[in-house]
Amino acid sequence: MNPLPLVTAELRRNALGCAAIVALIALDVALGVAVTAQERALREASARAADRFDLVVGAPGSPTQLVLTTVYLQPAALELLPAGTLAQLAQEPGVAAIAPVAVTDSYRGYTIVGTTAEFAAAGGITDGRAFAQEHEAIVGSAVQLPLGTMLRPAHGSPAENMIETHEHDFVVAVVGRAQATGTPWDRAIMIPIEAVWAMHDDVHGHGAEGGPSTPARLDTRSPERGLERVPAIVVKPRSMTDAYQLRGKYRGHDTVAVFPAEVLVPLYALLGDVRELIAGMALAFQALLIAAVVLVIVAALAARRQSIGVLRALGAPPSFVFLTVWLQGALLIACGVLAGAVLGWALARGIGAWASARTGLSIDAAPGAAEAWLLLALFVGGSLSATLPSLATLRVSADRLLRLA
């Protein structure tokens, strides 16, 4: 038995209609695949970005905001930690390393982060060297500034909705470029935390304290070294036990300590919910499409009852007729699903590249098992649905089909 010549001939005859069905299925599958792949890629990329932020200590407030600002450099008005927290943390036996992080200024759309040379250059320096003094800076791998650039940080964030911007009378020179990390830090200019203190000492009071338009108020009035105030401190604990102890100890009246995962997990849940919602809509749409395909098959069957009758009259076994009809539907669905998979992953990569460019997160949407299962389920569901109308062909006798001609 070989129904393929007949199947391909029939499909070729209706090439335009078939192409339309395949395109519809492909577009729909692409949407489902892109959403699934993209959500996973975003989740993985954001988790990767949080890797080196074991524990983040900030002033009491929103832990989500603390993590978003510190890890993803999203500007926000963070409260400052009490003076001395930095020094106190440095003394903790369970602490391997600490780094203050202050996101306060910007330059030509790049976020300027005040931190330590060790933290800024943790991934390595590809070009030049790490900063050694207040008037030096290193840039992330994605910052389009040549070494040697002299820049004047502006107070305020790169986001355009910040009303107040103000150029500091403070110049830093770019002396090095950090290794790419695939995180928003690739799009940041990193300066010594001391430079932040120095700048904001100069212009103390330029943003009314507590004013909502000031992204990060740095009250650096404490002149004594070690008592300067910072909005956030990244802590690298010596061990897991230390991590939990530190988290407990610094979770109090004056400070809050969070593992980024504490914030990310609920965010992922939300992201997952959104994914479920979109994927659910895509699935509902897919169900509709498959119903439409089945309808098309039924309609085509009605138009081809004559052909089916002829096949039966010529002695074709019902199984041959069934296969001929079923294969036409199944092939269309298979083509649509495959084309949709390719299109969906391409779409996910495109969105990933776009989102990477905007956030600095290296979002790499790769084919995953979830989509493979989705595709398999679609194909099986679709071709099973195509079976039902085809089964009807088995039940009609040849002379009746011929008579209907």
Partner 1 sequence: MSDPLRSLWGVFYPAGLSLRVVDLRVAYSDRGRVARTVLDIPAFEVAGAMQVALCGPSGSGKTTLLNLLAGLQRPQRGTVHWSGVELTALGQGALDRWRRETVGLVFQQFHLFPGLSALANVLLPLRFTQWSIEARWKRRALDLLERVGVSAHANLQTLSRGEMQRVAVARALLRAPPIVLADEPTASLDLDTGRLIAGLLCTLCRESGATLIVATHDVALADSLDASYEIVDCRLRPRLARRADVEAVVA
**What amino acid is encoded at 323 in this protein?**
L
Q: Is 395 in the site for partner 1 (CB under 8 A)?
A: no
Q: Is 164 in the site for partner 1 (CB under 8 A)?
A: no
Task: Name the segment binding partner 1 (CB under 8 A); options: 39-47, 205-213, 307-315, 359-367.
Answer: 307-315
Q: How many residues lie near partner 1 (CB under 8 A)?
A: 27
In angstroms, the CA 87 to CA 79 distance is 18
Residue of 244, 268, 285, 320 interacting with partner 1 (CB under 8 A): 320
**Nearer to partner 1 by C-beta: 14 or 141?**
14
**Nearer to partner 1 by C-beta: 210 or 315?**
315
Q: Is 306 in the site for partner 1 (CB under 8 A)?
A: yes
Residue of 147, 203, 339, 402 interacting with partner 1 (CB under 8 A): 402
Residue of 174, 312, 334, 343 interacting with partner 1 (CB under 8 A): 312
**Nearer to partner 1 by C-beta: 320 or 379?**
320
| Closest distance of CB 401 from partner 1, Å | 9
Q: Is 8 in the site for partner 1 (CB under 8 A)?
A: yes
Residue of 26, 55, 301, 316 interacting with partner 1 (CB under 8 A): 316
Q: Is 398 in the site for partner 1 (CB under 8 A)?
A: yes
**Cβ proximity of 17 and 341 under 8 Å:** no
Q: Is 168 in the site for partner 1 (CB under 8 A)?
A: no
| Closest distance of CB 303 from partner 1, Å | 13
Q: Is 10 in the site for partner 1 (CB under 8 A)?
A: yes
**Nearer to partner 1 by C-beta: 9 or 369?**
9
Task: Name the segment binding partner 1 (CB under 8 A); options: 126-134, 203-211, 244-252, 391-399.
Answer: 391-399
Q: What is the 3-state secondary structure (H, E, C) of the chain?
A: CCCHHHHHHHHHHCHHHHHHHHHHHHHHHHHHHHHHHHHHHHHHHHHHHCCCCCEEEECCCCHHHHHHHHHHCCCCCECCCCCCHHHHHHHCCCEEEEEEEEEEEEECCEEEEEECHHHHCCCCEEEECCCCCCCEEEECCCCCCCCCCEECCEECCCCCCCCCCEECCCCEEEEEEECCCCCHHHHEEEEEHHHHHHHHHHCCCCCCCCCCCCCECCCCCCCCCCCCCCCEEEEEECCHHHHHHHHHHCCCCCCEEECHHHHHHHHHHHHHHHHHHHHHHHHHHHHHHHHHHHHHHHHHHHHHHHHHHHHHHCCCCHHHHHHHHHHHHHHHHHHHHHHHHHHHHHHHHHHHHHHHHHHCCCCCCCCCHHHHHHHHHHHHHHHHHHHHHHHHHHHCCHHHHHHHC
Task: Name the segment binding partner 1 (CB under 8 A); options: 7-15, 47-55, 61-69, 120-128.
Answer: 7-15
Query: In angstroms, how far is the first alpha carbon of the chain from the final one?
Result: 26
Q: Is 12 in the site for partner 1 (CB under 8 A)?
A: yes
| Closest distance of CB 11 from partner 1, Å | 8
| Closest distance of CB 393 from partner 1, Å | 14
Residue of 118, 219, 254, 399 interacting with partner 1 (CB under 8 A): 399
**Nearer to partner 1 by C-beta: 137 or 323?**
323
**Interface residues toward partner 1, by CB under 8 A:** 1-3, 5-6, 8-10, 12-13, 306-307, 310-318, 320, 397-399, 402, 405
